[in-house]
């Protein structure tokens, strides 16, 4: 249980006995602390040190009292790290638009290139009540820019006199196509700081602008994030300080798992409204660590839904899986939540009499956690004293720092994504972009290799 209202990372079921490299990895705390200090001092880890936050907090307050308050709908154009954090925050803390009878603010996210979905949004959204938030650090992400061209055309057609007032761009302060667009048309912008990669950017304007629009307590998010991140970014961090930080123990566990052949990491969220944080973490972990033939595959899972779909594989499949189990801690004095069950229950369900519907979730969580441990699945339990914005900020900082440190223990760069960039270049080559001769030659060879298809 979560004692004294604390958020805890419980290692009871971690199965350290299976790992032969954990002691050696812990012995690298001094090396990791020195590297962390150097990277922070050089400005290469803004997601931890948040040097941009004082100015951003002022900007968000201005937007809250001005631009954001004028619209009922926000249409976010962004993909990957430009949208996953915003979606997780909306689903967790502003889920009203997913429920019957909602009349408040709505966030719509276009994070793919499905033509029908884009057209439907433009047909149904009222342009006069819609703010379009375009998120691309480089300013030339083809999926996002392709959407931007069409949405900009929609706004100009529907609102010829004030279309520019319905665009907010989040992009590099100096470079890229979106920056040129902003300068040409005088569009409102918020910056993406240097060295801030998309998957590490949720606690920046990328995720906090949609949060502010929806009325989410973004200040509590930032406070929670700082509570975990500040000790890691503090000058003078030494080996003992890092070794005592839960992110380092998480990193040691993560690398130890890989060394022992545990190549899949289940993120089992037993806070249903937080299910999208599992998708946010999946990109963070996979894109950061899947390099040079190394890494472990993150597998998002939601309790209790996935007890009835994929948990059989987790429990009785190959012994290559570990689990990060996220739930809300409950003390004995917590009042049960939810509607009470009626008294006239069938005898077979007599055990539910006098109980409330909200008691099912923690019971199911306990049962699944015990079953995973009994089937010898290594498990780290993250239990939160509350499912609020402050706790979410802490979780995001812990996961981000742990991912970074795991990558360094692996000997790879956890803030680049070279393989992903290849796919982007090939897609541009297929669409006829100038240059890219090598990619075009490779495409020609790939697409002329015959068709080994079988009808079904």
Catalytic status, residue 287: yes
Catalytic status, residue 424: yes
Distance CA(239)–CA(237), nearest Å, equals 7
Distance CA(1)–CA(287), nearest Å, equals 33
Please tell me whether residue 133 adopts helix, strand or coil conformation. Answer: strand
Pairing of strands 264-269, 167-171: unpaired
- For 192, the token pair is 């993406």
Provide the CA 99 distance to its chain's centre, in angstroms: 23
Please tell me whether residue 344 adopts helix, strand or coil conformation. Answer: coil
In the set 35, 164, 375, 424, the catalytic residue is 424
- My answer on whether omega of the bond before 304 falls inside 30° of 0, hence cis, is yes
The conformation of residue 163, written as its DSSP 8-state character, comes to G
Closest CA to 302 of 293, 313, 311: 311
Burial class (CB in 10 A: 0-12, 13-18, 19+), 368: buried
Helices (H), 5-99: 22-26, 29-41, 46-49, 53-65, 84-93
Distance CA(301)–CA(323), nearest Å, equals 10
Bridge partners of 134, per DSSP, are 77, 169
Q: Report which secondary-structure segment, H or E, holds 169.
A: strand 167-171
In the set 287, 327, 389, 439, the catalytic residue is 287
List Cβ neighbours of 253 (8 Å cut-off, separation of 6 or more): 11, 14, 16, 22, 378, 380
Distance CA(421)–CA(438), nearest Å, equals 14
Distance CA(301)–CA(262), nearest Å, equals 17
In the set 308, 343, 347, 350, the catalytic residue is 308
Active site residues: 287, 308, 424
């Amino acid at each position: 249980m979560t004692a004294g209202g604390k958020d805890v990372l419980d290692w009871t079921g971690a199965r350290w006995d299976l790992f032969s490299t954990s002691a050696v990895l812990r012995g690298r705390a001094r090396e990791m602390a020195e590297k962390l200090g150097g990277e922070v001092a050089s400005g290469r880890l803004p997601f931890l040190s948040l040097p941009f936050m004082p100015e951003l907090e002022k900007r968000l307050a201005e937007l809250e009292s001005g631009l954001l308050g004028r619209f009922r709908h926000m249409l976010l154009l962004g993909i990957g790290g430009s949208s996953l954090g915003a979606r997780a925050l909306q689903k967790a803390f502003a889920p009203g638009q997913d429920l019957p009878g909602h009349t408040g603010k709505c966030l719509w996210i276009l994070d793919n290139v499905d033509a029908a979905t884009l057209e439907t949004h433009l047909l149904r959204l009222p342009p006069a009540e819609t703010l379009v938030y375009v998120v691309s650090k480089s300013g030339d992400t083809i999926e996002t820019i392709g959407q931007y061209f069409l949405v900009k055309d929609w706004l100009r057609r529907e609102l010829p006199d004030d279309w520019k007032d319905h665009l907010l761009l989040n992009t590099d302060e100096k470079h890229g196509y979106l920056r040129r667009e902003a300068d040409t048309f005088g569009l409102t912008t918020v910056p993406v700081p240097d060295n801030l990669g998309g998957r590490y950017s949720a606690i920046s304007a990328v995720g906090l602008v949609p949060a502010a629009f929806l009325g989410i307590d973004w200040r509590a998010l930032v406070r929670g994030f700082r509570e975990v991140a500040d000790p890691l970014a503090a000058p003078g961090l030494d080996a003992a300080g890092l070794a005592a930080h839960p992110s380092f123990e998480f990193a040691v566990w993560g690398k130890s798992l890989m060394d022992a052949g545990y190549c899949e990491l289940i993120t089992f969220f037993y806070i249903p409204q937080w299910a999208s944080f599992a998708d946010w973490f999946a990109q963070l972990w996979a894109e950061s660590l899947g390099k040079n033939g190394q890494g472990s595959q993150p597998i998002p899972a939601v309790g209790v839904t996935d007890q009835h779909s994929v948990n059989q594989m987790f429990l009785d499949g190959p012994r290559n899986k570990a689990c990060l189990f996220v739930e809300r801690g409950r003390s004995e004095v917590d009042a049960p939540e939810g509607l009470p069950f009626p008294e006239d229950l069938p005898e077979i369900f007599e055990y539910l009499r006098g109980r409330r519907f909200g008691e099912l979730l923690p019971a199911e969580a306990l049962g699944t956690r015990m079953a995973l441990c009994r089937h010898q699945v290594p498990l780290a339990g993250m239990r939160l004293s509350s499912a609020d914005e402050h706790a979410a900020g802490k979780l995001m900082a812990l996961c981000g720092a742990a991912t970074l440190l795991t990558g360094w223990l692996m000997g790879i760069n956890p803030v680049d994504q070279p393989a992903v960039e290849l796919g982007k270049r090939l897609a541009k080559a297929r669409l006829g972009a100038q240059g890219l001769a090598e990619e075009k030659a490779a495409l020609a060879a790939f697409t002329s290799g015959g068709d080994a298809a079988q009808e079904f």
